[in-house]
Structure 1
Amino acid sequence: MNKEELKEKYGKKRVPHEWRKTDWFTTLVVTFFGSGMSPKAPGTMGSLAAAIIAYPMAWLALRQFGNYVWSISGKAFHFGFFINPFFLATALIVFFAAIPFVNKAMKDTGTEDPGWIVIDEVCGIFMTLAFLPTYTIVHYPWFLAIAFGLFRFFDILKPLGIHKFEKFPGAWGVMADDLLGGFYAGILLELGTAIAVAIGF
């Protein structure tokens, strides 16, 4: 047998990706513009794509809305305990808007939470960033790397009851655990930032 015949007989068969079974627009949404099509670590690639696109989003938000945050004390600080309404709204919009697309993708392909669906990771990254001021994201972009790392920690290990949210039916389970993971990551990011500022780091 020649090389090609050996490859054909014993080589690993190339199976078409499952996402090919649904329509192109649904694929575009659930793979977040194709980032979920990565053959290795699609969840990481989807999260990374979301973290990268978050920078120009923050830049535009800062120009349009300023550094407005919701604070417990009613005052806006660059660091402290607060919620960034822009990224909170973005995370919730992505969450609810993605539900029908995720359901359709899983139904069309006969899968349940396949790795190439990464719109849930995108939602989680945006939720994490809801605990950072827009000013901080724009002027200290290395915070995006910290947010990315913290979110991936919670997304992969799923501690503190996150895994229970996966049991929600259909797309709700796909999306909810990442939203909660983003919430935990954001809280930890904000606490760490507040401590660093308090000790003058």
Structure 2
Amino acid sequence: MTPARFIAGGFGTGFSPIAAGTVASLAAVLTGAGLMTLSRWAVPLVALGATVGGYAAISRAKVDGDPGWVVIDEFAGQWITLLALHRPTLPGLILAFLLFRVFDITKLGPVGWADRQHGAFGIMADDVIAGVIAALLLAFAGLMWPALRI
């Protein structure tokens, strides 16, 4: 396996026999929670790295369409969603996971437009947009319901 395919495959999570995108999103939430405890800059840096590096890896791996094993986009989108959290709390992490997965799966609004684009751009863009929307909703939820401790 080439390094590009390993990265595009979400460091191996994309080869899960069941629900590879969900497995990758869960792995991203768990690693993101750990990174949040290290530094306030860790998650923004890995989100940027996954977005730029994911685009490059997908381009180098020369994938056709959007195969199920390519899940680096889920890592990028999920880590973007986590940017709305001040600290890793269980309610915040669960809500971040659920919001991102809803937009990633349903392809509502601009997420659907991005999903219809071709190549590495289309593969990455829908999840990045889903992550931004989920992050905005997560931040709003934290303002509206401070008891969630988001």
Q: Identify whether the pair has TM-score above 0.5, normalized to the shorter chain.
A: yes
**Does the alignment pair 1:26 with 2:26?**
no
Aligned to 1:45: 23
Please give the alpha-carbon distance, in whole angstroms, between the structure 1 residues aligned to 2:118 and 2:125. 10
> What is the rounded CA distance, in whole Å, between the counterparts of 1:101 and 1:44 in structure 2?
20
Aligned to 1:17: none
Shift in Å, 1:94: 1.4
Alignment of 1:180-199 (within 5 A): 180-197=129-146
User: Any residues of structure 2 matched to 1:97-136 within 5 Å, and which?
Assistant: 97-105=53-61, 107=62, 111-133=64-86, 136=87
For residue 53 of structure 1, give the secondary structure of its aligned residue in structure 2: helix
State the aligned residue count. Answer: 148
Question: Which structure's CA Rg is the greater one?
Answer: 1
Give the C-alpha shift of residue 104 in structure 1.
Answer: 2.4
The alpha-carbon deviation at position 24 of structure 1 amounts to 3.0
Higher helix share: 2
State the shift of 1:89 in Å: 3.6
Asked if 1:159 is matched to 2:108, the reply is yes
The CA distance in 1 between the partners of 2:77 and 2:122, in whole Å, is 13
Runs of 4+ with >4 A deviation: none
- Secondary structure of the residue aligned to 1:117 is coil
- Check the 8 A contact 2:35/2:43 in 1, yes or no: no
Q: What is the TM-score when the length of structure 2 is the normalising length?
A: 0.89
Percent of aligned pairs sharing the same letter: 34
Superposition RMSD in Å: 1.9
Q: What is the TM-score normalised by the length of structure 1?
A: 0.68
Q: 8 Å contact 1:124–1:180 — kept in the other structure?
A: yes
For 1:92 and 1:33, how far apart are their aligned partners in 2? 16
Amino acid in structure 2 at the alignment position of 1:169: H
What's the counterpart of residue 170 of structure 1?
119
Report the counterpart of residue 14 of structure 2 in structure 1. 36
Measured after TM superposition, the shift of residue 187 of structure 1 is 0.7
Say whether the 8 Å CA contact 1:55–1:141 is kept in structure 2: no
SS at match of 2:66: coil
Offset of residue 57 of structure 1: 0.7
Task: Structure 1: give runs of 5+ residues left out of the alignment.
Answer: 1-22, 63-84
The 5 A counterparts of 1:63-74 are: none
Q: What stretches of structure 2 of length at least 5 have no aligned partner?
A: none
